[in-house]
Structure 1
Amino acid sequence: MADSPLARAIRWDTVVGALLLVLLLMSFGFVDGFGNALNLSFLIGNTLPIALIALPMTLLVVAGEIDLSVASTAGLSGSVMGALWNQGMAIETIIPLCLLLGVVCGLVNGLLVTRLGLPSLAVTIGTLAAYRGIAQIVLGSDAVTDFPTQYQDFAAGSIGDTFLPRAFLPFLVLLVIAAVVLHATPFGRSLFAVGANEEAARFAGIRVKRQKLLLFVATGFMASLTGIFWALHYASARYDNATGLELSVVAAVLLGGIDFDGGKGTLGGAIAGVFLLGAAQNVMSLLNVSAQSQIVVTGVLLVVSVLGPRVARQISVARAGRPAASTPTS
């Protein structure tokens, strides 16, 4: 049975989309400087690292797993990129090597989870520390800033005279691919089945371990790509690049209605959560809210993102059950 208009209205991802629209309208109207092209370009450029990792993270959480090592993988990728560039290697060779490194990091996480049966939360907390430590060993406290101009221009420049960053177009392509995979393919539908009930999915013939391993590899790949983008966008490769980014990614994905227990959510809701969080951080910066206070707000949003969808579902279930409960029995 299709959802009623009321049920669709109180779906959490719909609520998040509405909140994003309200925040944008209020910011354009009442926050000085929000609507100028420079700030909008800054907002989107700063949000893209979160959005890039949110694509595979959404699929991973739908399948009932999580990867908290993504920011450290990004930092390691940037560190290796800076170290190899210092040694005189061509950037066209460095970038594929860094992407391969991300695949290896994701593969390590995936094998530990799928082959040894370890919980992904514990595994990726461990690799979060390990990958960041390796990044510091690789590059030390150095900062590499002299990357080729054309690559920095692509990562930080805009399309013509618009406020849209050049990197936004490749992100849109990746977004479409991820949306089709999750919502329009048997693989995507099987991820919802795995997240809802892994044992039942296994009995139904779904290759659960293989699918989860692929998702961890894809997440590592995208985290590495994000690390490359981060180093070029901010013109600085350091071992501590993207520190704390995993909190923003998880908060944005859960804020968008992806159930932490798996099996529920939409990619559209997750991306709405990403840009809601990005816009809120941008507005707070324009209003001179301290960085520490912004971290507090992010933490509060993370709690709300876990609590909100559950409350919305309970309301939906209560409304759906009310007519049945009031029907007299014969």
Structure 2
Amino acid sequence: MEPQTLLDDNGYLKRNIIDKKEFSLKTFFLQWEWMLVIILLAVIVINSLLSPYFLNYPSLRDGTVTFLDKAFIVFPMAMVMILRDIDISVGSTVALSSVVMATMYNSLGVPMELAIIICLAVGALCGLINGLLIVKFKELSAVIVTLGTMILYRGIAYVILEDQSSGNFPEWFGFFGWGYVFGIPFILILFIIVAVIFGIVLHKTTFGRQIFAMGKNPTASRFSGVKVDKIKIIVFTLAGLMAGVTALFLASRMGSTRPNVANMYELDVIAMAALGGISTAGGKGKILGTVIAVFIIGYLQYGLGLINIPAQTLLIIVGALLIFAVTVPKIKLPSFIRRK
């Protein structure tokens, strides 16, 4: 808000508070999201030059099925990063959730509908444990805590299934990973719905404003009456819940699960969030940017996969994008690629 000093009819000073900034076309087009749009177009152009099978509607539509499962975790990860924290246990949470779901169905005879609910509950429980540990032991960073739980959750998954796979899911379960509604992948429809919900929560609600306030100054937020610990627990629980959603779609798409699934998912998710403009210093970022970044990295991996680029090379490219995203704000760049 910007104060303006004016004179009233009697010549006395008065102050008006402008609660909205005037719209500026220049400021609008200098936002980081426009830079992401340019990168996305570049990825599409390069992929279309490398493979004749990339640039057509069926390919672009069906390609989303291969990478949108992990994208559900990006939204709560954005919230976690805005809080100046990080969660590197999400990949292990995906593995554990899917393994528990498969074991419940195949070994214990639990109905698949109930096994799905248990999958989501396990994911939420893992996130809740992360949040409680981080709030309880404030002297420990979120990196250390989630590093420990990353190893723990993956280890439990290996104890349950060892090196075996588990599948034989009912035929209808495959709809989650491969189903279409009016010619559009079901996972894409759900992703858009979830993106809108998280966008509204983060940018249009008191809860979202409190997250940004905590990211900018957690101490001031605490003394201002913001329930800092409660919000952290909720955000980390959401990250676990969305990891459970990812486990559901991944198991559906693969038709089975193993303890080593979702390996390095945390790298992709953090890279998507950081590239999308979520500040690693906290207090900044937009859901729109993360959505565009999801499609940048997703189509990059999908397009290079069409020409059989090795997985190790893809890791190098994703790592380079992550470095690019976190270093650009520290470099004095021309204004046309400046972050807002």
Provide the rounded CA distance (Å) in 1 between the counterparts of 2:315 and 2:49. 25
Q: Counterpart in 1 of 2:198?
A: 178
Shift, 1:134, TM fit: 0.4
For residues 32-47 of structure 1, the aligned pairs below 5 Å read: 32-36=52-56, 39-47=59-67
Choose which of 93, 97, 100 in structure 2 pairs with 1:73.
Answer: 93
Letter in 2 for 1:244: M
Q: Counterpart in 2 of 1:327?
A: none
Residue 131 (str. 1) matches residue 128 (str. 2): no
The CA deviation string for residues 34-75 of structure 1, in whole angstroms up to 9 with x for no partner, is 034553344201221221000111111112111110010000
Letter in 2 for 1:224: G
**RMSD across aligned positions (CA):** 2.0
Shift, 1:212, TM fit: 0.8
Choose which of 98, 107, 115 in structure 1 pairs with 2:136.
Answer: 115
Structure 1 residues 283 and 106 mapped into 2: Cα distance closer, same or farther (>3 Å)? same
Residue 255 (str. 1) matches residue 268 (str. 2): no
The CA deviation string for residues 261-319 of structure 1, in whole angstroms up to 9 with x for no partner, is 1101100001111110011111211233211111111111110010123336x755xx9
Provide the rounded CA distance (Å) in 1 between the counterparts of 2:167 and 2:60. 25
Choose which of 124, 127, 151 in structure 1 pairs with 2:173.
Answer: 151
Q: Point out the more displaced range, 2-11 or 127-136.
A: 2-11
Shift, 1:13, TM fit: 2.7
The CA deviation string for residues 79-102 of structure 1, in whole angstroms up to 9 with x for no partner, is 111111112211011111121111
Provide the rounded CA distance (Å) in 2 between the counterparts of 1:36 and 1:15. 24
The CA deviation string for residues 152-192 of structure 1, in whole angstroms up to 9 with x for no partner, is 123212334x3x31122222211111000001111111111
The CA deviation string for residues 182-216 of structure 1, in whole angstroms up to 9 with x for no partner, is 01111111111110111111122211111111000
Letter in 2 for 1:210: K
Letter in 1 for 2:191: F
Q: Counterpart in 1 of 2:215?
A: 195
Q: Counterpart in 2 of 1:231?
A: 251
Choose which of 198, 211, 231 in structure 1 pairs with 2:231.
Answer: 211
Structure 2: gaps of 5 or more residues: 1-20
Shift, 1:26, TM fit: 4.9
Provide the rounded CA distance (Å) in 1 between the counterparts of 2:100 and 2:303. 34
The CA deviation string for residues 106-133 of structure 1, in whole angstroms up to 9 with x for no partner, is 1110011112112111111111111001
Letter in 2 for 1:122: I
TM-score, normalization by structure 1: 0.89
Cα contact 1:253–1:270 (8 A) shared by 2: yes
Cα contact 2:84–2:281 (8 A) shared by 1: yes
Provide the rounded CA distance (Å) in 1 between the counterparts of 2:54 and 2:209. 39
Residue 243 (str. 1) matches residue 263 (str. 2): yes
Q: Secondary structure at the match of 1:167?
A: helix
Residue 306 (str. 1) matches residue 326 (str. 2): yes
Letter in 1 for 2:181: I
Q: Counterpart in 2 of 1:328?
A: none
Shift, 1:30, TM fit: 5.9
Higher percent of residues as strand: 2
Percent identical among aligned pairs is 35
TM-score, normalization by structure 2: 0.87
Higher percent of residues as helix: 1
Structure 1: gaps of 5 or more residues: 320-330
